[in-house]
Amino acid sequence: MPILWALASPKTDEREVLAAMLEIDAPLVRQRTGQLLITDKGFASRPFERSPSEHGITLLRPPTKREVTRPGEPLLKKVRQLIESVNDTLKGRLDLEQHGARTREGVAVRVAQRVPALAPAIWHNFQTGQTVSRSLTAYDS
């Protein structure tokens, strides 16, 4: 379940965005012990790896070519497929790529409506044993 999200310019380094999120929402992160942060290889750097651990967050990412296997690596492929599936749902089913917003604030409002709508639906579908956890079909009117 997502506990933080942010909109940023595609030109901004994603590590900078995450560092800012962790700084701004530090109290929220501290309240939730045992958080797992799943990233891609783009987050590989010693300075960056210290930042999540300082907030009590476990970083899970694929190894770079120079690294040996990392903890949790066998789970990573399946979890990343789920994340990509959720992202696809956000872009397609929830119209995040064709949102119709004319301003940055409008985009933020549309994302702020859709992400919190999808998260409980995934949780509910999981709790009730639905075969497709990210489907919102049952909630269409």
Write down the pLDDT at residue 115. Answer: 73
76-123: pLDDT as tens digits: 877 777 777 777 766 666 565 666 667 778 777 877 777 777 777 777
Give the pair of three-digit tokens for residue 46.
């010693």
Q: Which residue has the higher pLDDT, 12 or 77?
A: 12
Residue type, 17: V
pLDDT band for 141, please (50, 70, 90 cuts): very low
What is the rounded distance in angstroms from the CA atom of residue 123 to the CA atom of residue 1? 8
Write down the pLDDT at residue 130. Answer: 79
- What are the angstrom distances between the C-alpha of 17 and each of 7, 53, 81, 93, 134? 9, 16, 23, 26, 26
3-state secondary structure of 129: coil
In this model, does residue 135 exceed pLDDT 50?
yes
In this model, does residue 1 exceed pLDDT 70?
no
Whether the CB-CB separation of 52 and 34 falls below 8 Å is answered with no
How far is Cα of residue 4 from the mean position of the Cα atoms in its chain? 8
What is the rounded distance in angstroms from the CA atom of residue 19 to the CA atom of residue 53? 12
Whether the CB-CB separation of 79 and 38 falls below 8 Å is answered with yes
Tell me the backbone φ, ψ of residue 21, rounded to 5 degrees: -60, -45
